[in-house]
Structures are given as C-alpha cells and as structure tokens.
Chain A
Amino acid sequence: KAGVTQTPRYLIKTRGQQVTLSCSPISGHRSVSWYQQTPGQGLQFLFEYFSETQRNKGNFPGRFSGRQFSNSRSEMNVSTLELGDSALYLCASSYNRLPGSYEQYFGPGTRLTVT
C-alpha cells in the first residue's frame, strides 16, 4: 500500500500571501488529521476530518482552514501568512477511529518557509 503523500514537499512564501497544502491518505483511510511542527512548540494539532466533516480542531486562528473531499484527500489553507507560520506541516491518516485503535500514519510533511 502506498503511504500518505503530501505535496508540495517544500514551499517558500512571503508574508501576507496564502498557501494551500495537499494530502492524499493511505487507500481506505477516511480520517485525515493535520499537525504543525515547530522546534519551539513541537507537534500541535490543527484539525481532523472524516467523511468530509471536520470533527475536531485545535487552537489555531481562523487563518488556518481545511477541507476534505469525497475521495478522502484533504487540503489545508493558510491565509495572510505570518513569519511564525514557518513550520513543517504534517498530514496523518487513520483507518479506524474507535478508542484504543486511533493509530495515525504520517506523511513526510510540507516544509513551509515564510519570508
């Protein structure tokens, strides 16, 4: 089975621009989660989608948004970029959401640099 794929792998943007990141989950996985990873804050949960519905979101400003398509692929968007948005953005997919089996499989991430 192919793993989680994320595109692009690297991105450089300037402050004020917006960016869209894409994630294709493992075939058969219907849950997709997004995380932001920085040296100072570690891995921070952004949001989770299942069957095109956002089921939970983390404590990020409204500039961060996401969506999921009917084929389970997901995108996240960051508008009005700030320098502090520079981070590794990780997507993870999961097959089964039942308690005790919430295992997530991560993609390689998109490294976003805001200048």
Chain B
Amino acid sequence: TQLLEQSPQFLSIQEGENLTVYCNSSSVFSSLQWYRQEPGEGPVLLVTVVTGGEVKKLKRLTFQFGDARKDSSLHITAAQPGDTGLYLCAGEVDGNDYKLSFGAGTTVTVRA
C-alpha cells in the first residue's frame, strides 16, 4: 500500500485544456514535493510546499498543500505537449527522517 495515493493514474487531454492531479494520504507530511519524469530520465523537482494551505505557482502550474498537510494538488492551465510526462508527488512524513515516500505517479499525455 502506497503511503501517498495519486489520482488519476492516467490522464490524456487535448492541448489547451486544464488538468488537475491529486495526491492524498492519511499521514501528515512535513514537506511535500512534486516531480516530473520523462522516459529514460530521473525525476526533476518542480516545487516544494511546506506550510498547510500554501499555494505556489510556477508559470501555468499551480500547486496547493492541504491545510492539514495530508494532501496536495497540481493544476495545469492550458496544457501544452511539453507538459507530457509522469508526475510524482513525494513527501517526508513527520518524524520519519531522511527518506521521501513517493506516490505511484500520474501519467499525463497532452495531445497536440
């Protein structure tokens, strides 16, 4: 059982549409990261959120950390083919040091 549950598992949308990926847990996280991974490469860090209720924006990407620090969401506005990839959330559980727990990932495909 994954500590972090991501949904949906797969997402295929047309260029210009919006999408949201969710990351949920019953555990509290001291921090939560979002990564994007392309085939044959390692995950690339997109953002870190640490404060409950925090919202961060990275161009067309908006990241939100839940008030209770148990969940997060990633919203992409006007998706582009370059947004295609595997999106992973990862968190460090309070009191569980020196490791990140990863969700299973959401595969996003943006069609031109």
Instruction: Give chain A's interface residues, CB within 8 Å of chain B.
Output: 4, 31, 33, 35, 42-45, 48, 50, 55-56, 58, 90, 92, 97, 99-109, 111
**Given A99-B92, A102-B92, do A33 and B99 touch, yes or no (CB 8 Å)?**
yes
Interface membership of B64, Cβ < 8 A: no
0/1 string, B23-36, CB within 8 A of A gives 1: 00000001101010
Given contacts A43-B90, A99-B92, A99-B94, 19 further A-B contacts (CB under 8 A): A33-B98, A33-B99, A43-B88, A43-B102, A48-B99, A55-B97, A56-B99, A90-B43, A100-B48, A101-B31, A102-B30, A103-B45, A104-B33, A104-B45, A104-B100, A105-B45, A107-B42, A109-B40, A109-B41
A90 interface neighbour in B31, B33, B42, B103, Cβ under 8 Å: B42
Contact count band on B:
20 to 34
Contacts of A42 in B (CB 8 A): 2, 88, 102-105
Secondary structure dominating the interface of A: strand
